[in-house]
Amino acid sequence: MQAEETETVLVASSDTLQRSMIAKYLRECGYSVIEATGLEDAKTAIGHYEIDIVVSDTEMQDGTGFDLSTHIRSMRQPIEIILTQSLVKTAQVAGDLCEQGPLEQPYHPQRLVDEIKRIRASRSAAAD
């Protein structure tokens, strides 16, 4: 499935294998992808690039996806956030910081693409 328009997705994860697999899949689907190895790397990328969607693990070596979500919200930028995590208890916290709770890992990369398309559709509907 190809992205309908080029959107930039920031994939933030300390897990190199997971991050590179998701980034590769999103690129194959037509998205522009920036990879971040952790919280500080993600903050730097957000400061330098126009990011549409952030996909972040809830736990990274130098911080959390919740820290990153709080940073994004404090900047008042229209960046959508998708958190990923295997622990169910983080869903309630994630719900306060982003529109959806975390995707449970492991997840198929197509599920992430479907979530990005759902976000795009809801943005388009809100703009109409």
Q: What is the CA 7 to chain-centroid distance, rounded? A: 12
Q: SS3 for 52?
A: coil
Q: What is the CA 3 to chain-centroid distance, rounded? A: 16
CB atoms within 10 A of CB 98: 21
Q: SS3 for 58?
A: coil
Q: Which of 98, 101, 100, 71 is CA-nearest to residue 86?
A: 101
15, two tokens: 């897990």
- pLDDT value at residue 12: 92
Q: Find the length of the chain.
A: 128
What's the whole-model pTM score?
0.67
pLDDT in tens, the chain (128 residues): 444 568 899 999 888 888 888 888 888 888 999 999 999 999 999 999 999 999 998 888 888 888 998 999 898 778 988 888 744 433 444 444 445 555 666 677 788 888 888 887 887 777 76
Q: Distance between CA 112 and CA 37 in Å, rounded?
A: 19
Q: Distance between CA 62 and CA 90 in Å, rounded?
A: 18
Which burial class, exposed, middle or buried, applies to 3 when counting CB atoms under 10 A from its CB (0-12, 13-18, 19+)? middle
Element (H, E) at 56: strand 53-57
